[in-house]
Structure formats: C-alpha cells, structure tokens
Amino acid sequence: MKINRFGRAEILSPDQINLLFTEGFVNPRDRALFDACLYAACRINEACTLAVKDVFGSNGVKGVLVLRCVNTKGKRDTREIQVHPKLRQYLEEYNPNRRKEFLFRGRHGLGHIHKVSADKILRDTCVRLDIEGVSTHSFRRTALTRMSDAGIPLRHIQEISGHRTLAALERYLGRKSIPMPITNAAAATAGAVTLATPAAAIPRPIIAKPPASGSSPPTTKFCSKSLSSIKSTEESVEFLSDSLMS
C-alpha cells in the first residue's frame, strides 16, 4: 500500500472506481484525465501531455488515442489505443477548447496540467472519500492487472503498456494476477474465453515496420480485432470495462 507517497500504488476495486468517478472527480476535466489513465492504461504524464489533436478530430473524439513517443517514459514508440466508450463519454462531456494545443490545460489555461497537480487532485479526492493507498499510478496498474486476470496474454498487454520486457510487466502487475505468457494464438483464445467470457476480446496490437534512417519512430496500433471472433468494434474493448466493474 502506498502511504505518504511511499510504497506501491494500490489496485483499485470496482467500488472504488465507481466512487471516484461518480462522487470524487467533480470537474469534467479531472474525470476525463483519470479515465484516460484507466482505460488507456497510460502513465499520468502521458495523459497530462496529450494534445487535442491526439484525441479529437474534425468530427469529435477519434477512434484511437495517440500516446506520442516524446511523452512516454522510454521515448521509444508512439502507441495508439482504441478509445473505450466510457472514455469517449467523459471526453465529450469535458468538451475542451479544440483551438488550444493541449487536451488537459493547466492553471489559467496555460500549457498542460502538470503531473504534480494531477497527483494533488487525486490525493485530495481520496482524502475526501476516505480511500487509502491510491496514487495516479493505481489507474494504470489496475487496468493492466485486470487484463492479466482476464486471461489476456502478456505479450498483448505489453504492447498496450509499453513495457520493454515481460519481466518488467510481471513485476508491475498486482499479486492476485496470474501472468499468462501465451504466444500460441489458439491457446491464447482458449485461455481468454475460459477466464474472461464474455469479455474475451482485446485490442490487437499491430507493430509497424522499423522506420528508415532519419524518419519518425514506429507506431504501435491497436485495432478492433480480437483473439476470438467479435461482431463489432465496441466488443473489442468491452473486456476491460467488464473486468474493471466486476
């Protein structure tokens, strides 16, 4: 448990998630910010530095959220992650000024919100709700752990999280999570269906070819196809919603 900024961030329970997003975050910006951390499994700095163009297009919220390599921890790959319906809802409710550069603006509308400010918002909210051990990292750990608990192969989770190695990812997951380093597609499908039915679908990563010298870094994309047969794009992200809220 994390206490006074020391220790490991707690995994959020479904009740805590519900409490935070219904009674805790009263500002639409804050709800959208922390929901991005939860449903995109991204780091707080990755969420804070999102540009408007990384999320919104001419027709509103895009189908994918772009985490640019310059804002990631290792600054290696740009990740594109499918926007979950719940995240889309909070982003639309937030409805930021699309003429600005950053999605989550800081004080007085200047630049982007700093991760220290986001941390204070969360800590103040948790004190008010009497929730202990939670930090900004809890949202990311919760999402990744729930994926593993649902039987999603670690290789796929690694592409979503951006961890360099499977070992690093395993250390990151909650104790209750049982890692499943499955590489065989058929076995992965069987495992996912057994442990996560009916939420067996995940965004499937597509790694671009290495760039030519002097070009932009590669992008990791997540399409709506799943390890098992699905009927719609929304089904491909329902696994996380079901896992988080149950």
- pLDDT tens track for 203-235: 433 333 344 545 554 444 443 333 333 233 244
> Is 50 within 8 Å of 98 (Cβ atoms)?
no
Compute the mean pLDDT over every residue in the chain, rounded to the nearest whole number.
73
pLDDT in tens, 134-157: 999 999 899 888 988 888 888 888
Which has the minimum average pLDDT: 16-30, 64-78, 125-139, 170-184?
A: 170-184
**pLDDT higher at 162 or 92:** 92
- Whether the predicted pLDDT of 54 surpasses 60: yes
**pLDDT higher at 73 or 96:** 96
| pLDDT score recorded for residue 154 | 84
Residue % of the chain over a pLDDT of 90 = 40
- Whether the predicted pLDDT of 131 surpasses 70: yes
- CA-CA distances (angstroms) from residue 29 to 96, 124, 198? 8, 16, 32
- Whether the predicted pLDDT of 171 surpasses 90: no
Mean pLDDT over residues 16-22, rounded? 96
> Is 9 within 8 Å of 133 (Cβ atoms)?
yes
Element (H, E) at 115: helix 115-129
* Domains of the chain in sequence order: 14-136 (1.10.443.10), 138-244 (no CATH)
- CA-CA distances (angstroms) from residue 130 to 6, 88, 89, 206, 244? 18, 28, 27, 41, 20
pTM: 0.70
- Whether the predicted pLDDT of 133 surpasses 70: yes
**pLDDT higher at 208 or 97:** 97
Residue 62: half-sphere exposure toward Cβ, Cα within 13 Å: 14
3-state secondary structure of 246: coil
Give the closest residue to 48 by CA, choosing from 34, 60, 69, 65. Answer: 34
Mean pLDDT over residues 156-175, rounded? 77
Instruction: Work out the number of other CB atoms within 10 angstroms of the CB of residue 237.
Output: 23
Q: How far apart (Å, rounded) are the C-alpha atoms in residues 47 and 57? A: 17
Q: Where are the beta strands (DSSP E) in the chain?
A: 56-57, 60-61, 64-67, 78-82, 204-207, 219-223
As given in the structure block, the two tokens for residue 189 are 């499908």
Mean pLDDT over residues 121-141, rounded? 95
- Whether the predicted pLDDT of 173 surpasses 70: yes
